[in-house]
Amino acid sequence: MSKKLSIKFYYGFVCTTGSAVMLLEFAAARMLAPWFGTSLLVWGSIIGVVLLALSFGYWYGGRLADRYPQADRLMYLTLAAGVTASIIPIILHIFLDNLSLSITLLSGTYVGTLLGSFGAMLLALAVPIGLLGMVSPYVIRLVTTDITQSGQVAGALYAWSTVGSIVGTFASAFVLVPWLGSRETITLAAASLIVVGVIGLPNKAKFSLWLALPLAIYGYNSIRPLHADAATLYSTESTYQFIRVEDQGDRLALIFNEGLGTQSYYMKTGVLTGSYFDYAGLTPELTQLPSQPNLAVLGLAGGTVTRQLREYYPQATITGVEIDPAVITAAQKYFHLDEQAINLVNQDARQFLHSSHQRYDVLVIDAYANEHYIPWHLTTKEFFHLAANRLSPRGILAMNIGSIGEDTDIFQALVATVASEFKIVAVIPVPSTYNYVVVASNSQLQPNNLQHITGARFGLAKQALAGFHFITTTDTDKIFTDNRAPLELYTEQMIWSYITSLW
């Protein structure tokens, strides 16, 4: 015989299940990010899967409630949702970790990113979210006894469910995922579903044993590290990315997510890295600096560029801006960031420029999210207008762009956008890489200054000068704005072109 439950219980019940939906969505999305990023394509896939699963749950839950209008069956469905939610990390591990090469190739294409992220979320979320979608129509069927009050009852239940969704959204985004972790958030959601399901059953002692399952699965996942190898000195998951510090012999490397790029090097001897960081560090030579220049690096990471600037421009005031506090912590511990004597700012680069009242002689922009993408809001005409207004009269902007050539849409669009706000734009290709340092100014650039560099940077400066060239024409149809910036599409098209060129 089904147990009669109070309306107050059902309010708390739908609040809990509504919260669980959002906890699972945010945590699963966080686990997906290292492979596919957090682009609009990925979030479109995630939201699409959740809505599909909920839609099916609403439809089938209503049919099931009419056929079996017993509270016990609803509690069993909730227990099943908790159990299937608890195995989400295992499903994603199997799908992503064991198919890492295929996932890497998929994530470099528009279709691959869409299908890969959609497939991963479908496998991970379809069943638990579908089961949770059955809750609302089932509860309405069980609670409604007077047809004249059905609207009021349904409205109250949906209100409490939405309150739970709000709590789950804020809790997962601001507290649970960044501070506890994605696995822990999933375990908490699964456990809360099992607890509320057990409370609604007559034989609580018997079914409370189900709570051991998500805890056991969490224990298994906890002993399996997210990433591990002999060279890893440190790893952590931040609000923005998975962070790893790796010992590479003559240097330490700061690596995000799946390691498709290196965000910073700390050389154990000297400051030159043999990579594009060195070319960015040369760019102050392209203008006439005052005796005490004001320099800033937006996208500090481990401080590779600021370390070089401090070495070669000791009289400069240097500011480093980094959005991720966990990156700053890692850089302070392993990259000796505190020893650089720079102004350290933990803020988004564009917000920093909005709030800053300084004028800079050099602005170096080296911000990337999930290896592939420059954050889109740092690539628009409005952003470069802001950057130009923060430069001194002879100030220059230097920006690292990753591209397989100068003829790609992503390169052409970014250069055109920079040129829309700066009178002079030039490019320094970094030899043997897919990096280009784009330099812009509203005054005259002075590449011949590179001829006067001696010492350890002599050969570097010679190579930079040999590749240096001005941009004279641009495709104005490709200019990015805050309203339209298809950065991710252009980036994925470029990666796909590179992949197909290898076949």
What the chain holds in terms of domains, given with CATH numbers, is 7-223 (1.20.1250), 274-501 (3.40.50.150)
Distance of CA 189 to the CA centre of its chain: 22
Q: Indicate left, alpha or beta for 85 from its phi (over 0: left) and psi (-120 to 50: alpha).
A: alpha
Q: How far apart are CA 453 and CA 462, in angstroms?
A: 9
pLDDT in single tens digits along all 503 residues of the chain: 455 788 899 999 999 999 999 999 988 887 876 667 666 677 888 899 999 999 999 999 999 999 999 999 999 999 999 999 998 988 887 777 655 445 544 544 555 666 777 888 888 899 999 999 999 999 999 988 777 777 888 899 999 999 999 999 999 888 888 778 888 899 999 999 999 999 988 877 666 776 777 777 777 666 555 544 557 888 887 777 778 899 999 999 998 876 566 889 999 999 999 999 999 999 999 999 999 999 999 999 999 999 999 999 999 999 999 999 999 999 999 999 999 999 999 999 999 999 988 999 999 999 876 556 788 889 999 999 999 999 999 999 999 998 889 999 999 999 999 999 999 999 999 998 889 999 999 998 999 999 999 999 999 999 999 999 999 888 888 899 999 888 877 877 777 776 677 66
Task: Give the angle 31-88-11 at the CA atoms, nearest 5°.
Answer: 105
Q: How far apart are CA 346 and CA 480, in angstroms?
A: 26
Number of Cβ within a 10 Å radius of residue 355:
9
Number of H helices, E strands in the chain: 19, 12
| C-alpha torsion 223→228→233→236, nearest 10 | -60
Coil/strand/helix, residue 502:
coil
H helices present in 319-372, as ranges: 325-334, 349-355
pLDDT, position 239: 74
Q: How far apart are CA 305 and CA 307, in angstroms?
A: 5
Q: Indicate left, alpha or beta for 496 from its phi (over 0: left) and psi (-120 to 50: alpha).
A: alpha
Distances (CA, A) of 453 to 44, 224, 259: 50, 50, 34
pLDDT, position 1: 45
To the question of pTM greater than 0.75 for the whole model, the response is no
Q: How far apart are CA 414 and CA 401, in angstroms?
A: 8
Which of 417, 418, 410 shows the shortest CA–CA distance to 490? Answer: 410
pLDDT, position 457: 93
Task: Give the angle 283-288-292 at the CA atoms, nearest 5°.
Answer: 90
pLDDT, position 101: 45
pLDDT, position 390: 96
Distances (CA, A) of 128 to 303, 399, 459: 43, 44, 59
